[in-house]
């Protein structure tokens, strides 16, 4: 696969992760109809920070910016580690993670795997 295609696919994966975060905030509201549920979902700054960083990485990778490559590898690696640690420490360890968690892990792993090869890093040269 060409390096530019890898970076573009990583950009789509980061955008998908940001969209997954937004859906994760709005999904409980759609099923409960209770605004307290939305207020509780919106009161987590780390979730908003992850969404903003994922959107920033997606935009930067689409423009093939070098800072986006560094931020994408660091942020996706960090989020993936935090998800894995939470899964290992949680009560669901030994069972298949929930579908949304599994999708988030796959998207983050895809970002890291697509960006780590040297040609992908060299493609982000602006």
Question: Tens digit of pLDDT per residue, the chain (126 long)?
Answer: 788 899 999 999 999 999 999 998 888 777 777 778 777 777 888 889 999 999 999 999 999 999 999 999 999 999 999 999 988 888 878 888 888 889 999 999 999 999 999 999 999 888
42 vs 27: CA distance, rounded Å: 12
Structural domain tally of the chain? 1
Q: How far is CA 110 from the centre of its chain?
A: 10
Q: How far apart are the first and last CA of the chain?
A: 21
pLDDT of residue 114: 95
Q: Which domain holds residue 105?
A: 3-122
Global pTM value: 0.88
Using alpha carbons only, what angle is made at residue 84 by residues 97 and 90, rounded to the nearest 5 degrees? 65
């Amino acid at each position: 696969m060409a390096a530019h295609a890898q970076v573009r696919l990583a950009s789509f994966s980061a955008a998908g992760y940001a969209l997954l975060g937004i859906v994760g905030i709005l999904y409980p509201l759609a099923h409960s109809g209770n605004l307290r549920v939305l207020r509780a979902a919106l009161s987590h700054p780390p979730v908003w920070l992850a969404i903003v960083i994922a959107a920033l990485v997606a935009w930067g990778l689409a423009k093939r910016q070098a800072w986006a490559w560094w931020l994408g590898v660091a942020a996706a690696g960090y989020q993936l580690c935090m998800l894995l640690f939470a899964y290992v420490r949680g009560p669901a360890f030994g069972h298949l993670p929930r579908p949304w968690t599994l999708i988030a892990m796959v998207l983050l792993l895809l970002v890291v795997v697509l960006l780590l090869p040297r040609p992908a890093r060299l493609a982000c040269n602006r």
